[in-house]
Structure 1
Amino acid sequence: MLTEQFVAAIAAPSKPNTGVARDVGIFVHEFQPMAAQRAAFKKSAAPPNCIAVSATHIFAAQADKAVVHVYSREKGNQELLVPFQERIHSLALAAEDSVLLLGTEGGRILICTSRLVSTPPSHLQRVTSLAVDPTSNFFLSGSTDSQIHVWSLPALLSFAPDTSRAPLHTLSTHRGPVTALTVGHSTSSANIAVSASSDNSAIVWNYQTGTLLRTYLLEVTPQALVLDPADRAVHAAYADGSIQTIDFFAGDAVAPASATNTLHDPAHAHRPLQPPPRTRFNATSQNLGPALSISLNWDGTTLISGHESGKIASWDVAKGAYSSTLGNLPGAVTNLSFLEPTGWPETKEAKFKIPAVVKPKPDTGNGDSIIGIVPALYTMNVQLTGRLNTSISAATAEIGAPQLSLFEEALTHPSFPDELLDEGLAELAAWDGGSQNTASKSVDFLPLAPAGEEVGQTANEQLEDLKARFKKLQEIQKVTFGQITQLKQERRTWVDLEAKREARKARRRARLFAKPKGHAAAGADDNDHDEDSSDHDEVMADSEEDSGDEEVKTKKRGPHGSNDDIIGKGEESHSSEDDLGDLERSSASEKESDGDDG
Structure 2
Amino acid sequence: MLTEQFVASISAHTKANTGVTKDSGIFLHEFQPLPAQRHVFKKSASAQNGLAVSSSHVFAAQADKAVVHVYSREKGNQEALIPFPERIHSIALAARDTVLLLGTESGRVLAWEMCSGRLVSTSTSHLQPVTSLAVDPTSSFFLSGSPDAMIHVWALPAILSFSPDTSRSPVHTLSTHRGPISSIVCGHSASNANIAISTSEDKSAIVWDYHNGQLLRTYLLPELPQALTLDPADRAFYLAYGDGSLQTVDFYDDMQKTTSTDTLRDPASSHRPIQPSPKTRFGAESQKLGAALALTLSWDGQTLISGHATGKIAIWDTAKGNYVSTVTNLPGPVTNLKFLEPIGFPAASEPTFKMQTVVKPKQDSGAAGGNALVPPNYTLTMQLNGHLRKPAISATETVTKRSAFEEALVHPSFPQAMLDASLAELATWNAPSTSGAGIAPAADFLYLEDTAGSGGKQGVPSTNEVQELKKQLASLQRVQKVTFKQLSELREEKEYLLSEERKRSQSDQGKAKAKHHLANGSAGDVEMSSNTSGESESDDDDSSSDGESEAAPSE
**Which category of TM-score, normalised to the shorter sequence, fits these structures?**
0.7 to 0.9
Distance 1:404 1:308 in 2: 63
Counterpart-to-counterpart distance in 1, 2:76 and 2:403 = 46
Listed as ranges, the matches of 1:436-447 within 5 Å are 436=488
> 1:385-417 deviations in whole A, cap 9, x for unaligned?
133334x5xx8355969868366769xxxxx96
Classify the secondary structure of the residue corresponding to 2:48. Answer: coil
Q: Which runs of 5+ in 1 are unaligned?
A: 411-415, 440-598
SS of the residue corresponding to residue 265 of structure 2 reads coil
Matches within 5 A, 1:148-163: 148-163=151-166
Distance 1:409 1:247, change over 3 A: farther
Distance 1:231 1:407, change over 3 A: farther
Post-superposition Cα deviations, 1:494-546, rounded to whole Å, max 9, x if no partner, equal xxxxxxxxxxxxxxxxxxxxxxxxxxxxxxxxxxxxxxxxxxxxxxxxxxxxx
| Structure 1 residue matching 2:159: 3-state secondary structure | helix
Q: Deviations over 1:430-485 (max 9, x none)?
A: 5431344999xxxxxxxxxxxxxxxxxxxxxxxxxxxxxxxxxxxxxxxxxxxxxx
Tell me the amino acid that sits aligned with residue 175 of structure 1.
Answer: R
8 Å CA contact 1:249–1:258 kept in 2: the answer is: no
Aligned match of 1:67: 67
1:365 CA drift (Å):
3.5
Alignment match, 1:205:
208
Is residue 55 from structure 1 mapped to residue 87 from structure 2 by the alignment? no
Secondary structure of 2:9's counterpart equals: strand
1:353-502 alignment to 2 at 5 Å?
353-366=354-367, 368-390=368-390, 392=391, 396=393, 398=395, 405=402, 419=410, 431-432=482-483, 433-436=485-488
Distance (Å, rounded) in 1 between the aligned partners of 2:398 and 2:14? 60
Amino acid at match of 2:81: L
Q: By how many angstroms is 1:422 displaced? A: 7.9
Contact 1:51/1:58, CA 8 A, preserved across alignment: yes
CA distance in 2, matches of 1:271, 1:348: 46
* Cα separation, partners in 2 of 1:310 and 1:50, compared to 1, 3 Å: same
CA-CA distance at 1:250 after TM superposition: 1.5
Distance in 2 between residues matched to 1:168 and 1:363, nearest whole Å:
22
Retained in 2: the 8 A contact 1:161–1:369?
A: no
The answer as to whether partners of 2:7 and 2:26 remain within 8 angstroms in 1 is yes
Match in the other structure for 2:20: 20
Give CA-to-partner distance per residue, 1:132-175, whole Å, 9 cap, x none: 00000000000010000000000000001110000000000000
Indicate the residue corresponding to 1:461 in structure 2. none
Partner residue, 1:100: 100
Alignment of 1:11-410 (within 5 A): 11-113=11-113, 114-250=117-253, 258-259=258-259, 260-366=261-367, 368-390=368-390, 392=391, 396=393, 398=395, 405=402
Structure 2 residue runs of 5 or longer lacking an equivalent are: 416-475, 492-555
Aligned-pair CA distance for 1:364 = 1.6
2: CA distance, partners of 1:279 / 1:211: 27
Tell me how far apart the structure 2 counterparts of residues 313 and 94 of structure 1 sit (CA, whole Å).
29
CA pair 2-210 structure 1, distance change in 2 beyond 3 A: same
Q: CA deviation at 1:21?
A: 2.2
Give the match's secondary structure for 1:202: strand
Q: Distance in 2 between matches of 1:228 and 1:144?
A: 26
Q: TM-score, normalised by structure 1?
A: 0.68
Q: Would the alpha carbon gap of residues 74 and 272 (structure 1) be closer, same or farther in structure 2, given more than 3 Å must change?
A: same
Alpha carbons 1:7, 1:339 under 8 Å: kept:
yes
| Alignment CA distance shift 1:30-1:162 (3 Å) | same
Change beyond 3 A, Cα 1:379–1:52:
same
Number of aligned pairs?
A: 426
Give 1:219 shift. 0.4
State how far apart, in whole Å, the 1-side matches of 2:478 and 2:402 are: 20
Change (3 A) 1:321 1:399: farther
In the TM superposition, what is the alpha-carbon distance from 1:345 to its structure 2 partner? 1.7
Alpha carbons 1:159, 1:369 under 8 Å: kept: no
> What is the letter of the counterpart of residue 63 of structure 1?
A
**TM-aligned CA deviation for residue 20 of structure 1:** 1.4
Q: SS of 1:136's equivalent? A: coil
2:162 partner SS: coil
Q: Could you list the per-position Cα deviations for residues 111-136 of structure 1 after superposition, in whole angstroms to 9, with x for gaps in the alignment? A: 00121101111000011100000000
Q: Is the CA contact (8 Å cut-off) linking 1:102 and 1:110 kept in structure 2? A: yes
Backbone CA RMSD of aligned residues: 2.4
Q: Determine the structure 2 residue equivalent to 1:580.
A: none
CA contact (8 A) 1:234 1:247 kept: yes
Confirm or deny: 8 A CA contact 1:201 1:215 kept in the other structure: yes
Could you say what secondary structure the match of 1:271 adopts?
coil
Which structure is larger by alpha-carbon Rg, 1 or 2?
1
Q: Are the counterparts in 1 of residues 366 and 375 from structure 2 also a CA contact under 8 Å?
A: no
Identity across the alignment (%): 60
Q: Which residue type is aligned with residue 287 of structure 1? A: K
8 Å Cα contact 2:15-2:332 kept in structure 1: yes
Distance 2:213 2:262 in 1: 19
Q: Is the 8 A contact 1:429 1:438 kept in 2?
A: no
The 1:405/1:267 distance shift into structure 2, 3 A limit, reads same
Shift of the 7–267 alpha-carbon distance from structure 1 to 2, 3 Å rule, reads: same
The one-letter amino acid paired with 1:30 is: E
Q: Which AA in structure 1 matches 2:120? A: V
Shift in Å at residue 370 of structure 1?
Answer: 2.7
| Paired residues of 2:256 and 2:263 also in contact (CA < 8 A) | no
In 2: Cα distance, 1:21 partner to 1:193 partner? 39
Rounded Cα–Cα distance in structure 2 between residues aligned with 1:298 and 1:276: 26
Partner SS, residue 374 of structure 1: coil
Tell me the amino acid that sits aligned with residue 230 of structure 2: L
Q: Quick check: 2:128–2:147 contact (8 Å CA) kept in 1?
A: yes
* TM-score, normalised via structure 2 length: 0.73
